[in-house]
Amino acid sequence: MPKSAVCLKVPKKQGEVAIAFAAKLGLIDKGLSVGRDDEYLFVPLYRHPDETEFTAFTEKVPAVEVSVGSFEEKKPPQETLSQALEGKLPQELLEAVPQAFDIVGDIIIIEIPPKLKEYEHLIGESLLQTHRNIKVVLGKAGDISGVFRIRDYTFIAGEQRTSTVHREFGCTFHVDVGKAYFSPRLSHEHMRVATQVKTGEVVADLFAGVGPFAVLIGKQCPEAKVYAVDLNPEAVELLKVNVRVNRIEGHVFPICADAREIAKSQLRGVADHVIMNLPETAIDFVDAACNAIKPEGGIVHFYGFVRQPDTVEGLKQRFIEKVELCGRKVESFLAARSIRETAPFESQIVLDAQIW
Ligand SMILES: C[S@@+](CC[C@H](N)C(=O)[O-])C[C@H]1O[C@@H](n2cnc3c(N)ncnc32)[C@H](O)[C@@H]1O
Protein backbone atom coordinates (compact mmCIF):
# COMPACT_ATOMS: atom_id res chain seq x y z
CA MET A 1 0.00 0.00 0.00
CA PRO A 2 1.47 3.40 -0.96
CA LYS A 3 2.22 5.70 1.99
CA SER A 4 2.13 9.47 2.07
CA ALA A 5 5.35 11.21 3.18
CA VAL A 6 7.20 14.52 3.11
CA CYS A 7 9.80 14.42 0.35
CA LEU A 8 12.47 16.30 -1.52
CA LYS A 9 11.60 17.03 -5.13
CA VAL A 10 14.84 17.34 -7.10
CA PRO A 11 15.70 17.41 -10.80
CA LYS A 12 16.93 13.95 -11.78
CA LYS A 13 20.41 15.21 -12.67
CA GLN A 14 20.91 16.44 -9.10
CA GLY A 15 19.30 13.42 -7.48
CA GLU A 16 22.51 11.73 -6.47
CA VAL A 17 23.84 14.82 -4.65
CA ALA A 18 20.49 15.39 -2.93
CA ILE A 19 20.15 11.78 -1.80
CA ALA A 20 23.73 11.72 -0.46
CA PHE A 21 23.15 14.94 1.50
CA ALA A 22 19.76 13.85 2.84
CA ALA A 23 21.33 10.53 3.91
CA LYS A 24 24.15 12.43 5.69
CA LEU A 25 21.51 14.36 7.65
CA GLY A 26 19.72 11.07 8.45
CA LEU A 27 16.49 12.35 6.86
CA ILE A 28 15.75 9.63 4.30
CA ASP A 29 12.91 7.22 5.09
CA LYS A 30 14.64 3.97 4.08
CA GLY A 31 11.42 2.00 4.40
CA LEU A 32 10.00 3.77 1.33
CA SER A 33 11.11 3.62 -2.32
CA VAL A 34 12.31 6.75 -4.11
CA GLY A 35 9.68 7.95 -6.59
CA ARG A 36 10.30 9.43 -10.05
CA ASP A 37 8.68 11.01 -13.06
CA ASP A 38 10.25 12.12 -16.35
CA GLU A 39 12.04 15.10 -14.77
CA TYR A 40 12.19 14.69 -11.01
CA LEU A 41 13.15 12.32 -8.22
CA PHE A 42 11.00 12.31 -5.07
CA VAL A 43 13.07 11.34 -2.05
CA PRO A 44 10.90 10.30 0.94
CA LEU A 45 11.88 11.79 4.31
CA TYR A 46 11.09 10.94 7.93
CA ARG A 47 10.29 14.58 8.66
CA HIS A 48 10.24 18.07 7.21
CA PRO A 49 13.80 19.50 7.07
CA ASP A 50 14.25 22.43 9.48
CA GLU A 51 15.23 25.87 8.19
CA THR A 52 18.99 25.39 8.60
CA GLU A 53 18.84 21.99 6.87
CA PHE A 54 16.78 23.37 4.03
CA THR A 55 19.20 26.30 3.52
CA ALA A 56 22.09 23.83 3.44
CA PHE A 57 20.18 21.80 0.83
CA THR A 58 19.57 24.78 -1.43
CA GLU A 59 23.30 25.55 -1.35
CA LYS A 60 24.02 22.07 -2.71
CA VAL A 61 20.96 21.69 -4.94
CA PRO A 62 19.44 25.11 -5.72
CA ALA A 63 16.39 23.62 -7.46
CA VAL A 64 15.33 21.50 -4.47
CA GLU A 65 11.73 21.75 -3.21
CA VAL A 66 10.01 20.20 -0.22
CA SER A 67 6.80 18.47 -1.20
CA VAL A 68 4.49 15.63 -0.17
CA GLY A 69 4.18 12.42 -2.16
CA SER A 70 2.86 8.91 -2.19
CA PHE A 71 5.51 6.15 -1.88
CA GLU A 72 5.67 2.37 -2.16
CA GLU A 73 6.84 0.63 1.01
CA LYS A 74 10.01 -1.43 0.48
CA LYS A 75 9.71 -5.14 1.13
CA PRO A 76 11.41 -6.08 4.42
CA PRO A 77 14.61 -8.09 3.87
CA GLN A 78 13.81 -11.78 3.71
CA GLU A 79 14.32 -13.72 6.92
CA THR A 80 16.86 -16.54 6.61
CA LEU A 81 15.88 -20.12 7.43
CA SER A 82 18.03 -20.07 10.57
CA GLN A 83 16.44 -16.80 11.71
CA ALA A 84 12.95 -18.25 11.15
CA LEU A 85 13.86 -21.29 13.25
CA GLU A 86 15.46 -19.37 16.11
CA GLY A 87 13.82 -20.24 19.42
CA LYS A 88 12.01 -23.18 17.81
CA LEU A 89 15.01 -25.52 17.73
CA PRO A 90 17.66 -26.18 20.38
CA GLN A 91 20.78 -24.08 19.65
CA GLU A 92 23.01 -27.08 18.87
CA LEU A 93 20.48 -28.32 16.28
CA LEU A 94 20.07 -24.86 14.80
CA GLU A 95 23.70 -25.05 13.74
CA ALA A 96 22.98 -28.27 11.82
CA VAL A 97 20.20 -26.69 9.73
CA PRO A 98 21.28 -26.81 6.04
CA GLN A 99 22.26 -23.42 4.65
CA ALA A 100 21.95 -24.56 1.05
CA PHE A 101 19.25 -26.27 -0.99
CA ASP A 102 18.14 -26.44 -4.61
CA ILE A 103 15.25 -24.47 -6.01
CA VAL A 104 13.54 -25.97 -9.05
CA GLY A 105 10.56 -23.87 -10.15
CA ASP A 106 8.40 -23.52 -7.03
CA ILE A 107 9.97 -26.53 -5.30
CA ILE A 108 12.74 -26.51 -2.69
CA ILE A 109 14.77 -29.71 -2.46
CA ILE A 110 16.65 -30.05 0.79
CA GLU A 111 18.80 -32.68 2.47
CA ILE A 112 17.77 -32.96 6.11
CA PRO A 113 20.57 -34.34 8.33
CA PRO A 114 19.46 -37.43 10.34
CA LYS A 115 19.61 -35.56 13.65
CA LEU A 116 17.03 -33.03 12.36
CA LYS A 117 14.66 -35.68 11.01
CA GLU A 118 12.02 -35.14 13.72
CA TYR A 119 12.03 -31.41 12.92
CA GLU A 120 11.76 -31.75 9.14
CA HIS A 121 8.13 -30.60 8.99
CA LEU A 122 8.98 -27.50 11.04
CA ILE A 123 11.95 -26.79 8.75
CA GLY A 124 9.74 -27.25 5.68
CA GLU A 125 7.08 -24.88 7.03
CA SER A 126 9.79 -22.31 7.83
CA LEU A 127 11.07 -22.59 4.26
CA LEU A 128 7.56 -21.91 2.95
CA GLN A 129 7.39 -18.90 5.26
CA THR A 130 10.77 -17.48 4.20
CA HIS A 131 10.37 -18.20 0.47
CA ARG A 132 7.01 -16.84 -0.61
CA ASN A 133 7.29 -18.21 -4.18
CA ILE A 134 7.83 -21.78 -2.98
CA LYS A 135 4.83 -24.11 -2.81
CA VAL A 136 6.50 -27.49 -2.20
CA VAL A 137 9.35 -28.63 0.06
CA LEU A 138 10.86 -32.02 -0.78
CA GLY A 139 13.43 -33.90 1.28
CA LYS A 140 16.06 -36.04 -0.41
CA ALA A 141 15.32 -39.67 0.46
CA GLY A 142 18.28 -41.35 -1.19
CA ASP A 143 20.96 -40.86 -3.79
CA ILE A 144 20.51 -40.23 -7.48
CA SER A 145 20.53 -43.74 -8.86
CA GLY A 146 19.58 -46.12 -11.66
CA VAL A 147 19.86 -45.73 -15.40
CA PHE A 148 17.44 -42.79 -15.38
CA ARG A 149 19.44 -40.95 -12.67
CA ILE A 150 16.51 -40.10 -10.40
CA ARG A 151 16.02 -40.21 -6.62
CA ASP A 152 13.22 -40.66 -4.12
CA TYR A 153 11.83 -37.74 -2.13
CA THR A 154 9.68 -37.25 0.94
CA PHE A 155 7.04 -34.54 1.07
CA ILE A 156 8.08 -32.26 3.90
CA ALA A 157 5.72 -29.30 3.52
CA GLY A 158 3.34 -27.62 1.12
CA GLU A 159 1.68 -29.28 -1.84
CA GLN A 160 2.30 -32.97 -2.52
CA ARG A 161 3.83 -32.96 -5.99
CA THR A 162 7.18 -33.38 -7.69
CA SER A 163 6.32 -31.56 -10.93
CA THR A 164 6.86 -27.88 -11.54
CA VAL A 165 7.81 -25.30 -14.16
CA HIS A 166 11.37 -24.02 -13.98
CA ARG A 167 12.78 -21.02 -15.86
CA GLU A 168 16.38 -20.67 -16.97
CA PHE A 169 17.86 -18.09 -19.37
CA GLY A 170 14.44 -17.24 -20.79
CA CYS A 171 13.52 -20.91 -21.42
CA THR A 172 10.60 -22.66 -19.75
CA PHE A 173 11.11 -26.21 -18.48
CA HIS A 174 8.33 -28.54 -17.41
CA VAL A 175 10.08 -30.76 -14.91
CA ASP A 176 9.16 -33.67 -12.68
CA VAL A 177 12.05 -34.37 -10.33
CA GLY A 178 10.42 -37.62 -9.23
CA LYS A 179 10.30 -38.99 -12.79
CA ALA A 180 13.19 -37.47 -14.75
CA TYR A 181 16.58 -36.02 -13.87
CA PHE A 182 16.88 -32.26 -13.54
CA SER A 183 19.40 -30.11 -11.70
CA PRO A 184 19.52 -26.32 -11.56
CA ARG A 185 23.19 -26.51 -10.60
CA LEU A 186 24.53 -26.84 -14.14
CA SER A 187 22.85 -23.76 -15.58
CA HIS A 188 26.19 -22.07 -16.33
CA GLU A 189 27.24 -25.18 -18.30
CA HIS A 190 24.02 -25.16 -20.30
CA MET A 191 24.81 -21.60 -21.37
CA ARG A 192 28.55 -22.20 -21.86
CA VAL A 193 27.90 -25.05 -24.31
CA ALA A 194 24.99 -23.23 -26.00
CA THR A 195 27.21 -20.26 -26.83
CA GLN A 196 29.64 -22.55 -28.71
CA VAL A 197 27.02 -23.77 -31.19
CA LYS A 198 27.09 -21.89 -34.47
CA THR A 199 24.55 -21.34 -37.24
CA GLY A 200 24.06 -24.42 -39.41
CA GLU A 201 25.69 -26.83 -36.94
CA VAL A 202 24.18 -30.11 -35.77
CA VAL A 203 24.11 -31.12 -32.11
CA ALA A 204 23.52 -34.58 -30.65
CA ASP A 205 22.59 -34.34 -26.96
CA LEU A 206 22.91 -38.04 -26.12
CA PHE A 207 21.60 -37.90 -22.52
CA ALA A 208 19.21 -34.99 -22.86
CA GLY A 209 16.83 -35.47 -19.91
CA VAL A 210 14.07 -32.84 -20.07
CA GLY A 211 16.29 -30.74 -22.34
CA PRO A 212 18.25 -28.07 -20.46
CA PHE A 213 21.08 -28.13 -23.03
CA ALA A 214 18.98 -28.96 -26.09
CA VAL A 215 16.21 -26.41 -25.47
CA LEU A 216 18.60 -23.57 -24.66
CA ILE A 217 20.64 -24.32 -27.80
CA GLY A 218 17.43 -24.48 -29.82
CA LYS A 219 16.35 -21.10 -28.45
CA GLN A 220 19.75 -19.42 -28.79
CA CYS A 221 20.57 -20.77 -32.21
CA PRO A 222 17.44 -21.29 -34.35
CA GLU A 223 19.63 -22.14 -37.35
CA ALA A 224 21.15 -25.16 -35.58
CA LYS A 225 19.63 -28.65 -35.59
CA VAL A 226 19.49 -30.47 -32.24
CA TYR A 227 18.82 -34.19 -31.73
CA ALA A 228 17.91 -34.70 -28.07
CA VAL A 229 18.07 -38.34 -26.99
CA ASP A 230 17.04 -39.97 -23.72
CA LEU A 231 16.19 -43.50 -22.69
CA ASN A 232 13.69 -42.42 -20.03
CA PRO A 233 10.24 -42.13 -21.68
CA GLU A 234 9.04 -39.76 -18.91
CA ALA A 235 11.99 -37.45 -19.60
CA VAL A 236 11.27 -37.49 -23.34
CA GLU A 237 7.56 -36.68 -22.77
CA LEU A 238 8.59 -33.62 -20.73
CA LEU A 239 11.22 -32.77 -23.35
CA LYS A 240 8.52 -32.80 -26.04
CA VAL A 241 6.45 -30.38 -23.96
CA ASN A 242 9.51 -28.17 -23.47
CA VAL A 243 10.23 -28.13 -27.19
CA ARG A 244 6.63 -27.09 -27.82
CA VAL A 245 6.34 -24.40 -25.14
CA ASN A 246 9.67 -22.89 -26.15
CA ARG A 247 8.58 -22.91 -29.80
CA ILE A 248 11.57 -24.72 -31.22
CA GLU A 249 9.70 -27.62 -32.88
CA GLY A 250 11.25 -27.08 -36.29
CA HIS A 251 14.83 -27.75 -35.28
CA VAL A 252 14.96 -29.59 -31.93
CA PHE A 253 14.00 -33.25 -32.20
CA PRO A 254 13.30 -35.34 -29.06
CA ILE A 255 14.13 -39.03 -29.48
CA CYS A 256 13.39 -41.76 -26.96
CA ALA A 257 16.21 -44.24 -27.53
CA ASP A 258 19.40 -45.74 -26.23
CA ALA A 259 22.26 -43.36 -27.04
CA ARG A 260 24.57 -46.14 -28.21
CA GLU A 261 21.99 -47.62 -30.58
CA ILE A 262 20.83 -44.34 -32.11
CA ALA A 263 24.44 -43.17 -32.61
CA LYS A 264 25.02 -46.28 -34.74
CA SER A 265 21.97 -45.62 -36.90
CA GLN A 266 19.99 -42.39 -37.25
CA LEU A 267 22.67 -40.18 -35.71
CA ARG A 268 25.74 -41.78 -37.26
CA GLY A 269 28.19 -39.13 -38.47
CA VAL A 270 25.73 -36.20 -38.19
CA ALA A 271 27.03 -34.09 -35.32
CA ASP A 272 29.35 -31.10 -34.99
CA HIS A 273 28.77 -31.20 -31.22
CA VAL A 274 27.97 -34.18 -29.00
CA ILE A 275 26.85 -33.50 -25.43
CA MET A 276 27.44 -36.30 -22.92
CA ASN A 277 25.96 -35.34 -19.57
CA LEU A 278 25.89 -38.73 -17.87
CA PRO A 279 28.81 -38.20 -15.52
CA GLU A 280 28.65 -41.56 -13.70
CA THR A 281 29.04 -43.72 -16.83
CA ALA A 282 29.69 -41.42 -19.82
CA ILE A 283 33.16 -42.94 -20.23
CA ASP A 284 31.43 -46.18 -21.30
CA PHE A 285 29.60 -44.29 -24.08
CA VAL A 286 32.57 -42.61 -25.78
CA ASP A 287 32.05 -45.00 -28.71
CA ALA A 288 28.54 -43.53 -29.16
CA ALA A 289 29.99 -40.01 -29.26
CA CYS A 290 32.63 -41.08 -31.81
CA ASN A 291 29.92 -42.60 -33.98
CA ALA A 292 27.73 -39.49 -33.84
CA ILE A 293 30.51 -36.98 -34.59
CA LYS A 294 30.90 -36.06 -38.28
CA PRO A 295 33.67 -37.91 -40.20
CA GLU A 296 35.52 -34.57 -40.54
CA GLY A 297 35.42 -34.08 -36.75
CA GLY A 298 33.63 -32.08 -34.06
CA ILE A 299 33.54 -31.29 -30.38
CA VAL A 300 32.50 -33.66 -27.59
CA HIS A 301 31.29 -31.96 -24.40
CA PHE A 302 31.95 -34.71 -21.91
CA TYR A 303 30.99 -34.70 -18.20
CA GLY A 304 32.56 -37.07 -15.71
CA PHE A 305 33.33 -37.42 -12.02
CA VAL A 306 36.82 -37.48 -10.58
CA ARG A 307 37.33 -38.92 -7.13
CA GLN A 308 40.68 -38.35 -5.44
CA PRO A 309 43.34 -39.63 -5.94
CA ASP A 310 42.08 -39.63 -9.54
CA THR A 311 42.74 -36.36 -11.40
CA VAL A 312 41.49 -34.41 -14.41
CA GLU A 313 44.64 -35.57 -16.23
CA GLY A 314 43.69 -39.18 -15.44
CA LEU A 315 40.21 -38.67 -16.89
CA LYS A 316 41.64 -37.01 -20.02
CA GLN A 317 43.92 -40.01 -20.51
CA ARG A 318 41.05 -42.50 -20.17
CA PHE A 319 38.97 -40.43 -22.61
CA ILE A 320 41.83 -40.35 -25.18
CA GLU A 321 42.23 -44.14 -24.94
CA LYS A 322 38.50 -44.71 -25.51
CA VAL A 323 38.48 -42.37 -28.53
CA GLU A 324 41.51 -44.11 -30.04
CA LEU A 325 39.83 -47.50 -29.56
CA CYS A 326 37.15 -46.18 -31.95
CA GLY A 327 39.79 -45.33 -34.53
CA ARG A 328 39.56 -41.58 -33.98
CA LYS A 329 41.84 -38.97 -32.38
CA VAL A 330 41.57 -36.24 -29.75
CA GLU A 331 43.09 -33.21 -31.46
CA SER A 332 43.03 -31.09 -28.32
CA PHE A 333 41.08 -30.35 -25.17
CA LEU A 334 39.44 -26.94 -25.51
CA ALA A 335 38.40 -27.15 -21.85
CA ALA A 336 39.27 -29.59 -19.07
CA ARG A 337 38.37 -28.56 -15.55
CA SER A 338 36.27 -29.06 -12.47
CA ILE A 339 32.87 -27.39 -12.61
CA ARG A 340 31.68 -28.19 -9.07
CA GLU A 341 32.38 -30.24 -6.01
CA THR A 342 29.86 -33.05 -5.77
CA ALA A 343 31.05 -34.75 -2.54
CA PRO A 344 34.10 -34.60 -0.28
CA PHE A 345 37.10 -35.39 -2.53
CA GLU A 346 34.86 -35.67 -5.61
CA SER A 347 34.30 -33.16 -8.44
CA GLN A 348 32.32 -33.03 -11.62
CA ILE A 349 34.59 -32.40 -14.60
CA VAL A 350 33.92 -31.07 -18.06
CA LEU A 351 36.11 -31.97 -21.03
CA ASP A 352 35.49 -30.19 -24.33
CA ALA A 353 37.39 -32.40 -26.71
CA GLN A 354 38.07 -31.61 -30.37
CA ILE A 355 37.87 -34.98 -32.12
CA TRP A 356 39.10 -35.88 -35.61
C1 LIG B 1 22.53 -36.91 -15.55
S2 LIG B 1 21.07 -37.00 -16.51
C3 LIG B 1 21.31 -35.55 -17.50
C4 LIG B 1 20.08 -35.05 -18.14
C5 LIG B 1 20.24 -33.69 -18.82
N6 LIG B 1 21.31 -33.67 -19.78
C7 LIG B 1 20.43 -32.60 -17.79
O8 LIG B 1 21.49 -31.96 -17.78
O9 LIG B 1 19.49 -32.35 -17.02
C10 LIG B 1 21.43 -38.31 -17.60
C11 LIG B 1 20.27 -38.73 -18.49
O12 LIG B 1 20.73 -39.80 -19.32
C13 LIG B 1 19.67 -40.70 -19.53
N14 LIG B 1 20.27 -41.98 -19.95
C15 LIG B 1 20.89 -42.91 -19.19
N16 LIG B 1 21.33 -43.92 -19.95
C17 LIG B 1 21.01 -43.60 -21.24
C18 LIG B 1 21.22 -44.25 -22.50
N19 LIG B 1 21.86 -45.41 -22.59
N20 LIG B 1 20.77 -43.62 -23.60
C21 LIG B 1 20.12 -42.45 -23.53
N22 LIG B 1 19.88 -41.81 -22.37
C23 LIG B 1 20.32 -42.37 -21.23
C24 LIG B 1 18.93 -40.73 -18.21
O25 LIG B 1 17.60 -41.14 -18.38
C26 LIG B 1 19.06 -39.26 -17.76
O27 LIG B 1 17.94 -38.52 -18.14
Residue-wise pLDDT tens for the chain (356 aa)?
788 999 999 999 888 888 988 988 889 998 899 999 999 999 999 899 888 888 888 888 889 999 999 999 887 666 788 888 888 888 888 888 898 899 999 999 999 999 999 999 999 999 998 888 999 999 999 999 999 999 999 999 999 999 999 999 999 999 999 999 999 999 999 999 999 999 999 999 999 999 999 999 999 999 999 999 999 999 999 999 999 999 999 999 999 999 999 999 999 999 999 999 999 999 999 999 999 999 999 999 999 999 999 999 999 999 999 999 999 999 999 999 899 888 889 999 999 999 99
Give the residue extent of every domain in the chain: 3-71, 81-161, 185-355
- Give the HSE-up count for residue 122: Cα atoms under 13 Å, Cβ half-sphere: 15
Nearest to 301 by CA among 268, 339, 328: 339
CATH assignment of 3-71, among 3.40.50.620, 2.40.50.140, 3.30.70.2580, 3.30.70.20: 3.30.70.2580
Q: 355: CA distance to ligand 1 center in Å?
A: 22
CATH 1.10.1240.10 fits 185-355, yes or no: no
Q: 145: CA distance to ligand 1 center in Å?
A: 11
Question: Domain 81-161, what fold?
Answer: GMP Synthetase; Chain A, domain 3 (3.30.300)
Dihedral over Cα of 214, 216, 221, 223: its sign:
positive
Question: Which atom of ligand 1 lies closest to the CA of 229?
Answer: 21
Name the DSSP class of 13. Answer: G
CA distances from 58 to 16, 17, 249 (A): 14, 11, 62
Closest CA to ligand 1's atom 22: 230
Q: How many residues does the chain have?
A: 356
CA distances from 238 to 37, 91, 144, 179, 341 (A): 45, 43, 19, 10, 28
Rg (CA), the chain: 27
- Give the per-residue SS3 of 172-188: EEEEECCCCCCCHHHHH
Q: How big, in percent rounded to 5, are the helix, strand and coil portions of the chain? A: 30, 35, 35
Q: 243: CA distance to ligand 1 center in Å?
A: 17
Q: 218: CA distance to ligand 1 center in Å?
A: 18
- Return the biggest CA–CA distance within the chain: 87
